[in-house]
A = this chain, B = another copy of it.
Amino acid sequence: MHRTAAIISQGDEIVIGQTLDTNSKWIAARLLDRGIVPLEHVSLPDDRAAIASALMRLAARVDLILCSGGLGPTADDLTRFALCDASDDTLREDADALAQIAAWFASRGRAMNELNKVQAQRPSRAAFLPNEFGTAPGIRTRIGLCDVFCLPGPPRELAPMFDRLVTPLLQPDPSRTVRVRVLHTIGLGESEIASRFRDAPGGNLMARDRSPLIGTTASNSVVSCRIRYEGPLSAGEADQLIARDEAAIRALISEAIFGEDEETLASVIVRTLRERAQTITTIESCTGGMVASQLTDIAGASDVLRTGWVTYANEVKTREVGVPDSLFKDSAESKAPGAVSAEVATAMAQGGLQSANADYAIAITGIAGPSGGTLDKPVGTVFVALASRSHAPDVRRFAFTGDRSAIREWSARAALATLWLNLSNRRGVRLLRQV
């Protein structure tokens, strides 16, 4: 029975901060979907003793361990050795695994490298898990009473192997239910939300001893509220409890909720526009394609975003979306507002709306830094303008802080948030960092 799990990711490159581990998050979400609760993630260097020690510590505490990485062909791939140490086993060559690796190379017209042969080795009491997308087979074994699955590190290999080979072998506790519901908000700070939850009519929604448990997480301007049930009730009963809490939360912060669970601002926008058969165009300066990229990451975006522009240079803003040249250049009688201004943002949006013949156009112009700031408009000054067929433009000025990358992320988020506020008739709502 698998009630609880731990997730181990391996590799010097992760522990020294060269590579971001995304596998652990992905595996955790998959396990929770099946009602198995992840209790810990650990990242370890290519150190056989450290890996073996973590395997033994965690095997004594959880029912299931998922490892990623360390199965490659090179001398710094040590998972198979650490598994032997932790389970008092020895390595042997797996004929099926060897045949699979040879076939993988043959199908690509390449010769199998001698080094790849080590990838066919596994602890003698373990089983191998075939890998269709790479050369490293996975390994399935047991340490004491704990089931252990080791998968290769590349996410494109790990994900299909998990779904096809690990998922069918998971044994969640049928008498225990785990259900999670997440509501995503924009425009309210985390402490404002917590304060409303604390003073809720039915008592503090965030008390640590209540069930379901309610928590919040802030990520840039999005605050997510998580309702989580874990206990003996049936899934139906748990869902009722969660629905009751969801209703209570919606009553307290309805103006700020834009999506649920896996939804993002981009996915909600694409879905809404598709439902209404409307289109959007993007005209981006400092975000340089991020807003278009986030929208087009959603399947079906091609119905919605048919054109987008990256208009960095002033003459491109003029040539592509007709921003009047006079807005950039000082004339004798008046000072021009300049490229980073409400006027230019508005002209970009209105010009893009016309050129693309879209229902909405979102424009962003700002100073992402590190250079380019002035006293009046320091680095982090960003203007977002939304033009539409139905309303006057919605133009907002923001003062963001952080490095170039942070300011760009905030800017893209602010653009999507402005769009969502307009799509959902909440034009009056101010956003965080709006000045």
Q: Which residues of B contact A332 (CB under 8 A)?
A: none
Cα–Cα distance between A305 and B114 once the two chains are bound (Å): 45
Task: Among B45, B73, B156, point to the contact of A39 (Cβ < 8 A).
Answer: B45
Q: Contacts A191-B135, A206-B76, A215-B74 known; A38 to B20 CB distance under 8 Å?
A: no
CB of A107 within 8 Å of the partner chain: no
Which chain B residue lies CB-closest to A320? B307
A1-49 contacts to B, CB under 8 A, are 11-22, 24-32, 37-46
Q: Which residues of B contact A290 (CB under 8 A)?
A: 289, 293, 296
Q: Which residues of B contact A43 (CB under 8 A)?
A: 24, 40-42
On whether the beta carbons of A73 and B191 are closer than 8 Å, the reply is: yes
Cα–Cα distance between A70 and B115 once the two chains are bound (Å): 45
Which chain B residue lies CB-closest to A400? B156
Give the number of times this chain occurs in the complex, counting copies. Answer: 2
Q: Which residues of B contact A115 (CB under 8 A)?
A: 191, 194-195, 198
Q: Contacts A11-B217, A13-B226, A313-B302 known; A191 to B113 CB distance under 8 Å?
A: yes
CB of A311 within 8 Å of the partner chain: yes
CB of A106 within 8 Å of the partner chain: no
On whether the beta carbons of A289 and B299 are closer than 8 Å, the reply is: no
Which chain B residue lies CB-closest to A132? B401
CB of A219 within 8 Å of the partner chain: yes
Interface size class of A (residues with CB under 8 A): 35 or more
Q: Which residues of B contact A305 (CB under 8 A)?
A: 288, 310, 312
On whether the beta carbons of A310 and B308 are closer than 8 Å, the reply is: yes
Cα–Cα distance between A38 and B75 once the two chains are bound (Å): 21
CB of A406 within 8 Å of the partner chain: yes
Cα–Cα distance between A21 and B26 once the two chains are bound (Å): 12
Q: Contacts A293-B288, A310-B305 known; A226 to B195 CB distance under 8 Å?
A: no
On whether the beta carbons of B282 and A308 are closer than 8 Å, the reply is: no
CB of A207 within 8 Å of the partner chain: yes
Cα–Cα distance between A208 and B70 once the two chains are bound (Å): 14
Q: Which residues of B contact A116 (CB under 8 A)?
A: 191
On whether the beta carbons of B302 and A307 are closer than 8 Å, the reply is: no
Which chain B residue lies CB-closest to A404? B299
Show the binding face of A for B, using Cβ within 8 Å: 11-22, 24-32, 37-46, 50, 54, 72-76, 113-116, 133, 135, 153-156, 159, 180, 182, 190-192, 194-195, 198, 204, 206-208, 213, 215-220, 224, 226, 228, 282, 284, 286-293, 295-297, 299, 301-302, 305-313, 315-316, 320, 356, 369-371, 401-406, 408
10 A-B residue pairs with CB within 8 Å: A12-B226, A16-B180, A133-B401, A156-B220, A282-B289, A282-B310, A288-B292, A289-B291, A289-B296, A307-B313
CB-CB nearest 3 A-B residue pairs: A288-B296, A17-B28, A17-B29
